[in-house]
Amino acid sequence: MATANPTMFQASDLNHHNERVQRRYRLLFGLMTLLLITPVMLILGTLVVKGGGAISWEFLLTAPTDGMRTGGVFPALLGTIWLVTVALILSVPIGIFAAIYLSEYAGDNWFTRTINLAIINLAGVPSIVHALFGLGAFVLFFEFGTSILAASLTLAVMTMPVVIVATRESLQAVPQAFREACWNMGATRWQTIRRVVLPNSLTGILTGVILEVSRTAGETAPIMFTGAVFFTPFLPQSVFDQTMALSLHLFVAATQVPGIAEEVPFGVALVLIGLVLTMNSVSIAFRMWLRGKKKW
């Protein structure tokens, strides 16, 4: 019978060293995470402290008066909801369908690779360039004029890559073995996509939509030339009308209006962030519900 070596379970210098190094790395990663959320907290905190006082039902539900100095943001709030909704209606179906084609149908050839490269490049084009494209294409060439339609189309083109990439990634996260099992049973590609692939990639697709909502609501440059105006006394009646928008309103209130109360631009920013979070919370809730259901 072997006698246990008494030093067998004693920590060696090497063990101590490894443990110290591991603790240092954990600290580093934790600090980076803290660093990451600090600006978010500071921004939200500043907005609430400085702009919270401006928020009231009256601020949300009335139009600005006295050259933006008093009154509320209602036309801008409504305009941003219009712009985001129309942009989503235009870009989400096209983006998802294109992503399904690229991920599930297209072969790996130069044509597909070119398309993928183009999508990545589209995501990298500065928003002011999209703005000028939108002005040339939608406002002037298609003669939509400066309108919600032209602005939303511009936003849709700009944010489409977000939806495509997010959708494609989440489709490809579904294990290939699931597809092969389904094909082996005699299912067509579409039957496989509908019954196995799509139900299991919905959460990822929704993440893409959430990202797109945030980006669309906040963009200023693309809508400045294509559909948003500093001030209009009329609320939009259709997609062919001009509209005010929160992001542009914030830019104007913060830089172009002398003698404005300091809390107004902060209040506008707070409303904009609140709107984005509200729109996102719907899909986040849906996503959490889905996540509880599906697993492999």
Among 186, 233, 259, 292, indicate the residue that binds another protein (CB under 8 A).
186
Question: What radius of gyration do the chain's Cα atoms show?
Answer: 25
With CB under 8 A as the contact rule, which of the stretches 144-152, 172-180, 207-215, 256-264 interacts with another protein? 172-180
**Segment contacting another protein by CB under 8 A, of 35-43, 85-93, 187-195, 207-215:** 187-195
286 neighbors 209 (Cβ within 8 angstroms): no
Contacts of 80 (CB under 8 A, 6+ apart): 217, 245, 246, 247, 272, 275
- Which of these, 48, 283, 56, lies nearest to 166 by C-alpha position? 283
Residue closer to another protein by CB (options 62, 112) is 112
Per CB under 8 A, the list member of 3, 9, 177, 237 interacting with another protein is: 177
Choosing from 122, 196, 235, 284, the residue that interacts with another protein (CB under 8 A) is: 196
With CA atoms as reference, report the closest residue to 277 among 92, 64, 47, 49: 47
21, containing H or E segment: helix 13-51
Q: Using CB under 8 A, which of 19, 58, 66, 180 touches another protein?
A: 180
Which tokens is 153 given?
Answer: 């189309």
Residue 183 CB, shortest distance to another protein, in Å, is: 6
CB of 174 to another protein, least distance (A): 8
Whole-number minimum distance, CB 163 to another protein, in Å?
23
Given the complex with another protein, which of 94 and 202 has the nearer CB atom? 202
**Cα-based angle 131, 133, 138 (whole degrees, multiple of 5):** 95
The footprint of another protein on residues 152-171 (CB under 8 A) is none
Question: What is the rounded distance in angstroms from the CA atom of residue 141 to the CA atom of residue 135?
Answer: 8
Confirm or reject binding of residue 36 to another protein (CB under 8 A).
no
Long-range contacts of 293-296 (CB under 8 A, 24+ apart): 294/199, 294/200, 294/203, 296/175, 296/200
Quote the CA–CA distance of 70 and 204 in Å, as a whole number.
Answer: 42
Q: Which is nearer to another protein, 8 or 177 (CB)?
A: 177
Question: Per-residue contact track with another protein, 104 to 133, x per CB under 8 A?
Answer: ---xx-------------------------
As measured in angstroms, the least distance from the Cβ of 200 to another protein is 5
Does position 292 interact with another protein (CB under 8 A)? The reply is no
Q: How far is the CB of 172 from another protein (least distance, A)?
A: 15
CB of 208 to another protein, least distance (A): 20
If binding is defined by CB under 8 A, does position 294 make contact with another protein? yes
Q: How far apart are CA 291 and CA 280, in angstroms?
A: 16
Q: What are phi and psi of 128, to 5 degrees?
A: -65, -30
Binding positions for another protein, rule: CB under 8 A = 107-108, 177-178, 180-188, 191, 195-196, 199-200, 294-296
